[in-house]
Amino acid sequence: MEDFKTIEVKRSIFEDNDADAQRLREELKAEKTFLLNLMSSPGAGKTTTLKRTIEALKGEMKIGVMEADIDSDVDARAISGTGVRAIQIHTGGMCHLDADMTRQGIREFGTEDLDFVVLENVGNLVCPAEFDTGSTKNAMILSVPEGDDKPLKYPLMFSICDVVLINKCDTLNVFDDFSKEAVKERILKLNPKAEVIFASAKTGEGFEKWIQWIRKEIREYQVL
């Protein structure tokens, strides 16, 4: 019988990642690079939203996009078409990015000269909410066809987001059981500080507000 010794650990499973994320946030702050962690379910319109966002902002700031996916480079290719720098990160089967993977992507990408980097996280409403990536701000896209009950089903995701973009509002006449009031109320109940913006990446409706939110956040970040 071998002699085992017990060591008391008493540490959260997420503690190492949280500390690593905080270090990455400080590194990015020193470079004045604003990192937006963009999350959603698959098909909510992250890439389309991103393309329109880039078009609106690329004249006034240097933008980079990191696309995290389990496989393929279709999203990075779509973004490359807009003329900004894009990199594809494969998570190798993992359902989310953690701070260490984000840092590896950031260093490979070289973000020192960039003002605004968007991290398009893996399409998933569960794990990305649990692992702090080290981003400056967290954004999530919820599309109308997914339903207004999603804040009830994925409360953690909604509680960690600084901004929630309700996308595909051009389909509200078809998905007429989606209540804008109900979804907003449910989000604010979980997260009173969240900004809720109703928009459509397809038609451009509501985008002014979204772009203004990004502009304001980046300006404040770079000044402070």
Partner 1 sequence: MHELGIVFHIVKTVENVAAGNQAEKVGKVVLQIGEVSTIIPSYLEDCWRWKCSKSEMMDGCELVIETIPAITFCEDCEETYSTVEHGKICPYCGSEHTYLIQGNEHQIKEIEVI
Q: Which residues are at the interface with partner 1 (CB under 8 A)?
A: 2-17, 93-96, 98, 126-127, 130-131, 156
**Type of residue found at 90:** H
Nearer to partner 1, 57 or 187 (CB): 187
Q: How far is the CB of 140 from partner 1 (least distance, A)?
A: 17
> Closest CB to partner 1 among 131 and 178?
131
- Least separation in angstroms between residue 211's CB and partner 1 is 32
Looking at the Cβ atoms of 90 and 209, the one nearer to partner 1 is 90
Q: Give least dist CB 42 to partner 1, A.
A: 15
Closer Cβ to partner 1, 3 or 176, answer by number: 3
Rounded Cα distance, 167 and 50, in Å: 12
Residue 56 makes CB contacts below 8 A (sequence gap 6+) with 207, 211
Listed residue (43, 21, 37, 66) closest to 145, CA to CA: 43
> Minimum distance from CB of 91 to partner 1 (Å)?
9
Nearest CB to partner 1, comparing residues 132 and 217: 132
Q: At what angle do helices 99-109 and 15-31 cross, to 10 degrees?
A: 30
Residues sharing a CB contact under 8 Å with residue 142, sequence separation 6 or more, in sequence order:
40, 41, 44, 150, 164, 165, 166, 167, 183
Closest-CA residue to 191 (of 167, 219, 163, 212): 163
Residue 70 has a CB neighbour count (10 Å cut-off) of: 13
What is the spatial distance between Cα 98 and Cα 13, in angstroms, rounded to a whole number?
A: 13
Nearer to partner 1 among residue 86 and residue 183 (C-beta): 183
Name the minimum Å distance from CB 182 to partner 1.
15
Whole-angstrom Cα distance, residue 102 to residue 109?
10
CB of 179 to partner 1, least distance (A): 19
